[in-house]
Every structure is written in structure tokens, then in C-alpha cells.
Structure 1
Amino acid sequence: MTACPDSPTAPASLWRHHDFRRYMTGQAASVTGSSISSMVIPVLAVLELDATAAEVAWLSFLGQLPPALLALHAGALADRHSKRKQMIIGDLISAGTLASVPVAAVLDKLSLAQLMVVAAVQGAAGVLHDAAALSLLPSLVDRSLIHRSNSRIGGLFAVAATAGSNLGAALTALLGPARALLGDVVSYLISAWCTARIQAPEGPRALANSRGRRLHTEIGEGLRYVHRDHRLRTLTLVNATTSAALALLNTLWTLYLLRSLAMSATALGVVLGLGALGAAAGALAAPVLAERYGPGPLMLVALAITPLTQIPLLLASPGLAWQFAIGAALFLQLACAAAVGTTQRSIRQVITADGMQARMQAVSTWLTSGARPVAALLAGGLGTWIGVRPTLIVGTCLLVVPLVVLYRSPLRGLLQMPGVLPVPPSSADALVQPAPAPLGPAVPNPAAAGDVRHDRSAEGSP
């Protein structure tokens, strides 16, 4: 890979990297705005349109459906065309779609059907944007700095999501729920503007000669690419199983806290705020911990801790002390999730050829997004059949699955981030093969992991 002109030579210079700053600013604005919509749209449906519980569920379902249906197609398009243009198109579609809600409210024409259409279109535009955005980063910074870049992005996104929820509540109080969505409209316009100002070349297209090739052929190449590389296959499976377990838990988590543990809305907000702080802390600490202990051991320990963080929730009874315990556990859980997410995403981006970045990310998005609705339905069925607390126990047990997947893989002994890959050939045939393994023992024999770790000297930043 050829580094962009102002690619940093040291981690500290990331903040002086103009294109990286533009990328981070635009994406943080988008995350902030999305948090506004996530908070405001259900309020608008319930308070202004008198939506029933079933209608609210359908509204949520329509918003979550596009990633499961369109992620693979969006990834193939991002590898075929300009990623920046695809991001801007997605942002502008989202902005225009959301702007229709306050306009309809002013004209007294807003309906629940329109909100459902908006949720579906915005979800589809978000898939288009995210497929390109996730795969653009490796062309902005040198691959040796990807882990630090993802760390800063993850920390900023956690703060932006919390700020967006609070801003959504404030805008709703000041302007009403329909006009509050204008905050998200502005965020999409900021994201599009920042993306348009990025100047770094995107790297070689996967399919420079893609005319005449069908999109499903390119999608198939992405699926085979991930399947053939054991590192990509393992990390994608870890993602999908973690997402399914957390989706099952999250479906009933708020209900359990508010009803079974009699937690107030204020206390719930404080607990969620602690979780956001944990996510930021985990993302920011991941590169340092990976450098000291190795990415493999870091992910293994974090995945092992995650099921244990559910114990306070399962043992809790109403009371302030248990609320503090649940808040601390959520802080630790999301710190572990962010550390694993930042690390595994960086590994996948480093080892993937430039022309396959978007399709590789799309496979992971497709599996994780597809797992969530299924897990939510399973949670509802189990919650009705065996009760809420036993269902949470089932979800906790499912959190052991990604730990087992990683433990059975050679990646558990990965003691350093993979090295920088050479620029891949431009031909499509070369791109359907997994990226060559980096020079040196990037994935050592797990049996020898202990000896290798003791011999490691202090290394530079990943």
C-alpha cells in the first residue's frame, strides 16, 4: 500500500493528519446525529402519532432490516466505485429523507407510515455510507497506524453517541420531536462536507475492468475471500456470535432493569452513561494493551471477562448498591467489547487487500446485522416461555461462544499486529485469493506463545 501524502510517521501526528481529522469529524458528526434520531423517532411515534407497541416494534425492525439485506451489495459497490462519493450519496439521501419529517409535521401531514418509510430509507442509505466509510480508513493512514486510528475513532464515537442522545433530548424539549430531527439532518450535511474535503487517493479499485461483471459475482468473491483466510473467517465469526448474544441480552435488558429491578429512568441514564465511558476507555486503551500483551491474548481475555460482567445483573435485587454494581459491570463489559472490536477490526483491515476492503467489511456487517433480528425474536420467545431472568442467563452462556471460537484459533497466540502488506496486484483474479500472510511470525504457534512473549522487546506502536 502506498501511504497518502500526509501519512503520519508517528502515532502522535495522527492529529496533524488533515484527511484523518476530516474523516473523524465527519463520522463523529454522523454518529451524533444518528443518536439523535434513535432517541427522537420512537418518541415521535409514541407521543405524537400514538403508535402501539407492535407499531414501534415494526418501526425498529424496518430500521434494522436494510443492513441484513443490502450490506453485501453495498460492499461490492464500494469496492467498484469511489468510496467517498458513495459516502456522500448516503449522507445526502439520509439528510433529505429525514428533512421530510419536520416538513410533513409543519403541514400536519405526518403519519406513522411515513416514519416507517423514513426508517427503511435511512437504514438503506446508512448501509451505503457505512460500507464505504469502514473500508476507506486503510487508504487514509499507513497500515502500521490503523490500530491507533481505530482506537481514536472508537473513543470519539462512544462520546459522540452519548452526546447525541443528550442533544436529542434537549432538542426535543426545545423544538418538539419532529423539529429535533433537524439536528440529524445537519449532522449528515457536515459528514458529507467533511468527506468531500478528503484529498488522499483511495488506492487501487478492485475491479477497474468491472464492466460487464455482475454484482453478485463480486459479492461471491467477497464471501470466498473471507472464508479462505482463517484469520478473517475467525474474526468475522467472533463478531457474529458476539452480536447475537448481545442482541439477545439487550432486547430484555432495559425491561428487566426498569420492571424487575425497579430502576428509575434517571438511574438508567446514569448506568448507560457509565457504559459509554467504558466503551471510550476500552477503545483508547486497546493499542497500548495490544502492544504490551499481544492482540490475541488481549482479545481472549476481554472475551473471557465479558460473560462475567453479567453476574451482577443476574444476582441483583432492587437497591442503590446493586445499581452501582450494574453500572460498573456495564462499564467493564463495554470496555472489553470496544477493545475487542477495535483490535479485530484493525487486524482485518491490515491483512485485507485494498480492492477487497469494502466487501470484507460487508461480510461482517451482513452476518452481525442478520444475527440481531433473529436474536431479538429468540429473546422474545424465551422471555415469554421461561421468563426474563432465565433468558438473560441463556444470553450470558451464549457470550462464551465467541471465546471458544477464538480460543480454538491460532489467533489466540497473535503477539503483534500483522505487518504492512505489499500493494496487491490489480487483476480481479489475484484479489479473490486471501491476502498473503505478513512477513515474520505474525501468528505464532499457540503452544509457543508464552516463550515468545517473554522474549519480546519493547516495540513501536502498531
Structure 2
Amino acid sequence: MPSSTDPSSLPGARPSLWRHRNFRRYLTGQAASVTGSSISTMVIPVLAVLELDATTAEIAWLTFLGQLPPALLALHAGALADRHAKRKQMITGTLVSAAALASVPVAAALDRLSLTQLMVVAAVQGAAGAVHDAAAISLLPSLVDRSLIQRSNSRIGGLFAVAATAGSNLGAALTALLGPARALLGDVLSYLISAWCTARIQTPESPRPAAECRRLHTEIGEGLRYVHGDHRLRTLTLVNATTSSALALLNTLWALYLLRSLAMSATAFGVVLGFGALGAAAGALAAPSLAARYGPGPMMLAALAITPLTQLPLLLASPGLAWQVAIGAALLLQLACAAAAGTTQRSIRQVVTADGMQTRMQAVSTWLTSGARPVAALLAGGLGTWIGVRPTLIIGTCLLLVPLVVLYRSPLRTLREMPGSPAAGPPSADTFAQPAPSPLGPAVPNPAAPGDERHDRSSGGGP
């Protein structure tokens, strides 16, 4: 709930996100982190490919080790965030990430930097990021009223996309001025800013007393059953996971293909990433109006249908400025679709989930989404070595059709309005004796009704 000191919480006041002091602090801190992460997203591939001469297999292992910890830790991090103060968990993860990343420019200054160290740093950052993200995403519903969640996610998505654009361009500039290793100091600074902003959030939290906490695996099981028992959560989580798997395969080799096969410079690579992020800003900001006009279901379905088509310029490209522009334009469209769909599906999941299950619901989505990524990274490395990078990118493009089919076969595809909120209060243990029916049946069309989902090039909505 909004802080009692927020003007928007006064009787008769028109709800305004910008009057929520805690929301502004949350948004500023997370946007700073996104800006810094975009620097790393642009710089680390340049460092690995151009400075350390990484092979296709080594790039795949670097990606795998960075994405494995969230797959292993997401469920546990989500259950812990339900027990403890979310802000402390966010700050801890942020500071650990800053310390790990700071070791890279130090090692480079001592001429001791290696791919092994980059892999260790990637693994530590992945673990710290899982701890941070489990708390950060589920903190939002406690900062604003549920009626503002869709608008909040839209503003967050738009600002994050702008921050990603700034980060990519800043990364390119810092790489040109300081070299790729020292450019990472920009990300270290962003982590410190994020921790400071998070520490200033004053919304009271009520961690459960130790006496009320059951075994961690029991609470994890409740989260899994909760998501499985609601067809909306189940469908959107599966859409997220399949989208993430396909994009992880593409992302593993995307930078390698642009930098090596298409001979793109580090500066052009950063500009392309930044240009594409503008599409994410547009898609996130337009999501509420698009969902209101066409319905959340049809809008998400159209976005998923367009996404595979945006890969065609990449697959057809050859070295040259014209193709670089075409790839940037396609990336802009891809991220616009991803942000519009991702913002909408995340809002639906947050709105329909009971307060006591927000973190564990998010953890289940993160676990499945993150679990697909390391497997896809290893698959990309193996296929890229065996059949070549470009054929592997073609396979990844074909896999983008899977989430489209998943959503098309669900009644969510005809969802015409945002669903309402569930009953307030956390569910009891008895709630999980069997899968619960959807508490908001009328909001979702009957299945039999006629006309039956980096800083990273992700699905845009996040887990």
C-alpha cells in the first residue's frame, strides 16, 4: 500500500505515481542499475571477443555461468524474500554485484584479467542478481495501490528502456575513452547509487516472525502449486519461459555474430543496442493504451507474432552501414513488441496474485525463465560450433514461434480487459491442498468461446 505520507493517498486526491515518494526512490534506484547493467551488456562481449579473443564455445560458457545461478536460486530467493525485509535483500545483492564487477578493471590494470575471471564474475553477479530481483519485483505491489500497477509497470518499462539506451551509448563512449575494462566502473557506480536509493525507501515491511516460517521447501511447493492452479499464471509463466529460452539461444551468439561475422565496431554495437532500446521505451509506455484499445490478450498475441519477423534482417545481413541500420530498426521493433507484451503480462500476474504470494509467484516465473537460459546457452554453443553461428540463429528464430502457439491455445488470447484483484490477505496452508480455481472467472473468456506471450535482449517484461 502507498505510504500514508503520500499526497495521492489522501481522500479525494487523484492517484498520481509521481506523488509517491517511495515509488520515485524505487524507480530511480532501479533505473540507475539498468543504466549500469546496459554498460556491462555492451562492454563484456567486447572485452571477451575483441580483447580476450574468446571462441564460440567460451562465449557460450560465459553466458551459461552467468545465467545458471538464477535458475538454481530463484525459488529459494523468493521464499526468503517472503520471510525477510525485501529492501535489505535488494541492497545485499546490489553491493555483492558491485564488488564482483569492480574486480575486473582492477585485474585489467594489473594485466591479470582472464576469461576465467570473467566467468567467475558472471556467476557471482548472477547469484547476487537472483537475490536482488526476487525482492525488487515483488516490492512494487507494496509501494502503490493495485489500481496503479499497470501504469506503474508502464512507467517503469519506459524509463528502464531509456536508461538502457543511455547505458548502451555511455558504454560505447566509455569504451572508446577508457577501454572496455575501465568502462565497467560505470556499472559499479550505478550499483552504489541503486543501493543508496533503495535504502531511502521508507515503506514499512512486515517480515514474518521466525515462529510462523515453515520449512523453505514447503513454502516453495506452495508457490509452485499456486501458479499451476491458476490458468492465467500458468499460461503467462509458460509464455515467459519459452520466449526466454528462444531469446537466450539467440542472445548467446548475437554479439559474437555482429562483432565478428558482420565486422561491427564496438561503437556501432553500442549504438545499435541503444537504438533498439528506444523501441522498448515506446512499447512499455504504449502498453496500457494498446491493452485498453485492443484487449490485453490480442495485443500480446500480435506482439508475439511480430517478434520472429524482426529476426529476418539479422539473418539476411552482410557487413555494411545499411545492414547495421536495418538491424537496429528491427531490434527497435522487437523490443517495442517485447516491452508492450511483457509489461502487460507482468501487470496481469501482479494484479491477480494474492499479497502473500507475490514473491513466490514471481520466483516461480523467474525460476522457469532463468532455468531455460543456461540450457539454451549451452545448446547455442554446441550448435554454433557444430553447424555454425548463422544456422543456430535460424533455429532460435523458429523457436520464437513456440510462445505464440502457447498463448494462442489459451483462453487468455481473447482477454479484452485487465482482470480485477483477488481477495486481500495471504492464503492459508489449506489453500494449497489442491489447485485453486481461478478466482476471477468472468474476467477471462470461457475456453469454449469463439476465437480461442539487457540491459539484455529479453522478452521485455522480465520474469
Interval of TM-score (by shorter of Structure 1 and Structure 2): 0.7 to 0.9
Residue type at the aligned position of 2:93: G
Question: Does 2:374 align with 1:373?
Answer: yes
Q: CA 1:79 to 1:388, structure 2 compared with 1: closer, same or farther past 3 Å?
A: same
Q: CA 1:434 to 1:246, structure 2 compared with 1: closer, same or farther past 3 Å?
A: same
Partners of 2:389 and 2:442 in 1: how far apart? Answer: 47
Partner in structure 2 of residue 198 of structure 1: 201
Partner in structure 1 of residue 90 of structure 2: 87
Alignment: residue pair count: 447
Shift in Å at residue 60 of structure 1? 3.3
Shift in Å at residue 435 of structure 1? 7.6
- 1:18 pairs with 12, 16, 21, which one? 21
The alignment's TM-score, normalised by the length of structure 1, stands at 0.86
C-alpha offsets along residues 307-355 of structure 1, whole Å, 9 cap, x if unaligned? 2223344445566555444333222111111111111111111111112
Partner in structure 1 of residue 170 of structure 2: 167
Shift in Å at residue 144 of structure 1? 1.4
Q: Matched residue of 1:441: which SS? A: helix
Partners of 2:76 and 2:66 in 1: how far apart? Answer: 17
Q: CA 1:72 to 1:253, structure 2 compared with 1: closer, same or farther past 3 Å?
A: same
- 2:101 pairs with 98, 101, 109, which one? 98
Partner in structure 1 of residue 419 of structure 2: 418
CA contact (8 A) 1:225 1:432 kept: no
The alignment's TM-score, normalised by the length of structure 2, stands at 0.85
Q: Which range is displaced more, 30-39 or 215-224? A: 30-39
C-alpha offsets along residues 29-87 of structure 1, whole Å, 9 cap, x if unaligned? 11112222334445555677676665554433322221111111111111111111111
Q: Which range is displaced more, 171-180 or 228-237? A: 171-180
Q: Matched residue of 1:85: which SS? A: helix
C-alpha offsets along residues 410-452 of structure 1, whole Å, 9 cap, x if unaligned? 11121111113332246444478778756572112366578xx
Q: Which range is displaced more, 24-33 or 441-450? A: 441-450
Shift in Å at residue 210 of structure 1? 5.3
Question: Does 2:19 align with 1:27?
Answer: no
Partners of 1:269 and 1:98 in 2: how far apart? Answer: 19
Q: Which range is displaced more, 215-224 or 125-134? A: 215-224
Residue type at the aligned position of 1:357: Q
Shift in Å at residue 286 of structure 1? 0.4
Q: How does 1:248-287 map to 2 (within 5 A)?
A: 248-257=249-258, 267-287=268-288
Partner in structure 2 of residue 142 of structure 1: 145
Q: Which range is displaced more, 426-435 or 383-392? A: 426-435
Q: Which range is displaced more, 341-350 or 121-130? A: 121-130
CA contact (8 A) 2:240 2:369 kept: yes
Shift in Å at residue 407 of structure 1? 1.3
Residue type at the aligned position of 1:191: S
C-alpha offsets along residues 227-282 of structure 1, whole Å, 9 cap, x if unaligned? 11111110000001111112222333344445655656555444333311111111
Residue type at the aligned position of 1:271: V
Partner in structure 2 of residue 407 of structure 1: 408
CA contact (8 A) 1:352 1:434 kept: no
Identical aligned residues as a percent? 84
Residue type at the aligned position of 1:245: A
Partner in structure 1 of residue 217 of structure 2: 216
Residue type at the aligned position of 1:397: C
C-alpha offsets along residues 6-29 of structure 1, whole Å, 9 cap, x if unaligned? 284788721222111100100011
Question: Does 2:71 align with 1:68?
Answer: yes
Q: CA 1:312 to 1:350, structure 2 compared with 1: closer, same or farther past 3 Å?
A: same
Shift in Å at residue 374 of structure 1? 1.8
Partners of 2:73 and 2:334 in 1: how far apart? Answer: 30
Q: Which range is displaced more, 359-368 or 314-323? A: 314-323
Q: Matched residue of 2:416: which SS? A: coil
Partner in structure 2 of residue 332 of structure 1: 333
C-alpha offsets along residues 82-138 of structure 1, whole Å, 9 cap, x if unaligned? 111111111122223333444555666656554433332222111110110010000
Shift in Å at residue 153 of structure 1? 0.9
Partners of 1:21 and 1:244 in 2: how far apart? Answer: 33
C-alpha offsets along residues 169-226 of structure 1, whole Å, 9 cap, x if unaligned? 3334444444433322221121111111112234x65x54555622222211111111
Partners of 2:97 and 2:133 in 1: how far apart? Answer: 12
Partner in structure 2 of residue 124 of structure 1: 127
